[in-house]
Amino acid sequence: MTNIEEKKTSTNETHEKKLRLAERRLLVFKYRRNGWSYRQIANSLAGKFGVSSRYGASNAYNDVKVVLNEIKSKYREEAEEVRDIELQRLDTLFEKYYDLATSGDIMALNACLSIMDRRAKYYDMDSMKKEDFSTLLNFDVKDLTTEQLKRIANGENPILVITNTDNTDRSGTGTSETK
């Protein structure tokens, strides 16, 4: 067998393993969704479907957890996309009414204030403490970590990134960095 054939076989085996793993996880998730305990799931799968006879309740739990995290990630990404579209729409509306509002049009002013309020809700600014805003005003961009800069570049709310003083990720992506 040539090196190319060995690599091809190895790649196919890896692909098949990943496929079996994904199928197993979906089956485990289905069983759990139907009310099975982790122990029941493990007993049902152990030694079958290419699953080790040592497959236990903790393995079933981990499989369910992986599937749930994938589902959460998918919906989080979709929600972020929808939020971004809505924020762009708000920007378009704001641009339309801003000049009118600054020249004294009360209805345009009310529209701008409503748009600003809605934008603040998308960014969850109402839940921020007063200290968070003072922190925001008194920061030097050189003090930001690489991870914070990446998060801002990827569209995360700069206010939340900068005021997150405990260096944990509030976006739900599971990333954090310390200086």
pLDDT tens-digit map of 120-147: 888 777 666 655 555 555 666 677 788 8
Rounded Cα distance between 105 and 99, Å, is: 9
Mean pLDDT score, 66-85:
87
SS3 31: helix
Mean pLDDT score, 1-18:
70
Closest to 57 (Cα-Cα) out of 34, 26, 33, 36: 36
pLDDT class of 172 with cuts at 50, 70, 90: very low
Closest to 165 (Cα-Cα) out of 132, 140, 134: 132
Q: Which residues contact 152 (CB under 8 A, 6 or more apart)?
A: 144, 158, 161
Mean pLDDT for all residues in the chain: 79
> Per mean pLDDT, which range of 11-15, 48-52, 131-135, 156-160 is the poorest?
131-135
Q: Which residues contact 94 (CB under 8 A, 6 or more apart)?
A: 112, 115, 116, 119
Rounded Cα distance between 156 and 158, Å, is: 6
- What pLDDT does 167 receive? 44
Neighbours of 9 (CB within 10 A): 11
